[in-house]
Amino acid sequence: MAMAAVVRSTVRLGPVYTVRIPRARRLCASTQPGKGVVKPLDGIRVLDLTRVLAGPFASMILGDLGAEVIKVEKPGSGDDTRSWGPPFVGKESTYFLSINRNKKSIAVNLKDPKGAKLILELAEVCDILMENYLPGKLGQMGLGYKDVQKVAPRLIYCSISGYGQTGPMSLSPGYDSIASAVSGMMHITGPEDGEPVRPGVAMTDLATGLYTHGAIMAGLLQRQKTGRGLHIDCNLLSSQVACLTHIAANYLNVGKEAKRWGTAHESIVPYQGFKTQDGYIVVAAGNNKQFAQVCEVLNLRCLSGDPKFKTNMLRVQNRKELLTILAEKFSEKSTGEWLGKFVGTGVPCGPINNIQRVFSDPQVSHNNLILKMDHPTAGKIAVPGPAVWYSDFKSNMPTPPPLIGQHTVQVLRDLLGYRDDTIQQLLKAGTVSQNEVQ
């Protein structure tokens, strides 16, 4: 669909000055035959007020898909993760660098009424607004969904919170580890006879980011059908509980409480890690044929015909006896030797790699999972690349994560039509800030 004509209107920022602001509204970016590389979200603009991980992870994916992402940060300190370290590359946190490519940064003081009004004006020229403030907080600044809907009725407004926009826990702050605990994820993670364990990365935040990315894409399609925007409610608790899948179904249908299994699987045996002479190997025998192949490789052919182990149900019932036999056998050779013996058998298996080995793996390299960029202050950096690749376009030419307020002046001038003297007044008042690197 064609982009709507630009409409100019006068907006008062205070008693001293008046500026002219272009307002461009549009539906989802239309097909552009004849152009070179076209990405799905070319022409879509995202106003990203999120911080830390779930929201920035989602907006990074949108940026990979071609969206223009404008990251709003607090002047001075910026996103919380900018200070999360060590390690740092120069003065830049590797945590922040890992999830903020393909974004512009503007530094705006939302506590200043002029700053809040500036965000409202930007919402009018954007397709998507993302935020992860405590429910009701932005409403106090005049930036809640109902406030924004009045001036931008076609905006997709996506809220991310710990527990949802409503309900008994909605006003509780939410971090990944807390939501992981409350949702039951931490209860089922860890050694069988040990304490609950936090997953090695913030899986609840990351799952929420993936849900958020998908929800925003659905919101754009919904807007294309209805011509209206909508409010999306994403939260850590719902994302993680939804991801409990069969563990949740076990309880909801037959009242079966979950427990921790370490690397093992509750319902499949053998399906876990085994210690070798020099490390660990994970073997997953998902059916009887694969179990027979495991026995063949281990030179334990008698086990596949043993009445106690002939079916998966029997193997689950006699788990301890079987695993004791297998563990003893796996300890006799190195991980590499066992992997070599499993080649061609059809049995899923792999080593438990440390991170150095992950990024030395030829398949990781083949899948373009190391993305290199030139950062304006940190120099050459590398981050995990996109997990999904497409036949019609590539995401291999990203812009590096921005500095705090690197694009403030550019955005005010190009998107809102602010004059230089107006921008200087906002800078002088501390309403916005501009990084020395532009």
CB-based contacts of 224, cutoff 8 Å, min separation 6: 1, 27, 28
- For the chain, helix (H) and strand (E) counts, in that order, are 18, 16
Residue 36's pLDDT is what? 67
Q: Give me the mean pLDDT over the 23-30 stretch.
A: 46
Domains with residue ranges and CATH for the chain: 45-246+377-385+399-433 (3.40.50.10540), 271-351 (3.30.1540.10)
Residue bearing the bigger pLDDT, 21 or 184: 184
Q: What is the DSSP string of 158-220?
A: EEEESS-SSSTTTTS---HHHHHHHTTTTTT-S-TTS-----SS-HHHHHHHHHHHHHHHHHH
Residue 437's pLDDT is what? 82
Q: Quote the CA–CA distance of 98 and 26 in Å, as a whole number.
A: 31
The question of whether 205 is a catalytic residue gets the answer yes
Residue 395's pLDDT is what? 75
Residue 18's pLDDT is what? 41
CB-based contacts of 304, cutoff 8 Å, min separation 6: 288, 291, 292, 295, 296, 310
CB-based contacts of 187, cutoff 8 Å, min separation 6: 181, 196, 258, 260
Residue 364's pLDDT is what? 97
Residue 243's pLDDT is what? 97
- Residue 397 predicted with pLDDT over 90: no
Query: What is the SS3 assignment for 4?
Result: coil
Structure tokens at 97: 């660098």
Quickly state the pLDDT bin for 377 (edges 50, 70, 90): very high
Structure tokens at 425: 């007044």
Q: Give me the mean pLDDT over the 175-194 stretch.
A: 96
Structure tokens at 252: 């909801």
pLDDT tens-digit map of 235-269: 999 999 999 999 999 999 999 999 999 999 999 99
Rounded to the nearest integer, the mean pLDDT of the chain is 92
Give the global pTM.
0.89
Amino acid identity of residue 403, one-letter, is L
**Buried residues in 349-372 as b, exposed as e (16+ CB within 10 A):** bebeeeeeeeeeeeebeeeebebe
Q: What is the DSSP string of 221-261?
A: HHHHHHS--EEEEEEHHHHHHHTTHHHHHHHHHH-PPP---
Quickly state the pLDDT bin for 17 (edges 50, 70, 90): very low
Q: Quote the CA–CA distance of 334 and 128 in Å, as a whole number.
A: 52
Contact 40, 13 (CB under 8 A): no
Quickly state the pLDDT bin for 438 (edges 50, 70, 90): confident
- Residue 1 predicted with pLDDT over 60: no
pLDDT tens-digit map of 106-150: 999 999 999 999 999 999 999 999 999 999 999 999 999 999 999
pLDDT tens-digit map of 329-375: 999 999 999 999 999 999 999 999 999 999 999 999 999 999 999 99
Q: Which of 205, 306, 414, 420 is catalytic?
A: 205
Q: Quote the CA–CA distance of 103 and 206 in Å, as a whole number.
A: 18
Contact 121, 416 (CB under 8 A): yes
pLDDT tens-digit map of 72-102: 999 999 999 999 999 999 999 999 999 999 9
Residue 4's pLDDT is what? 37
Comparing CA positions, the residue from 176, 105, 169, 83 lying closest to residue 134 is: 169
- Residue 16 predicted with pLDDT over 60: no
Structure tokens at 195: 């304490």
- Residue 378 predicted with pLDDT over 60: yes
CB-based contacts of 265, cutoff 8 Å, min separation 6: 271, 272, 284
Structure tokens at 123: 């919402």
Contact 45, 22 (CB under 8 A): no
Q: Give me the mean pLDDT over the 217-244 stretch.
A: 98
Query: What is the chain's Cα-based Rg?
Result: 26
Local structure of residue 40 (DSSP, 8 states): T
pLDDT tens-digit map of 157-172: 999 999 999 999 999 9
Contact 288, 346 (CB under 8 A): no
- Residue 6 predicted with pLDDT over 60: no
How many percent of the chain have pLDDT more than 70?
92
Beta-strand (E) ranges in 352-415?
370-375, 379-384
Q: Quote the CA–CA distance of 49 and 104 in Å, as a whole number.
A: 12
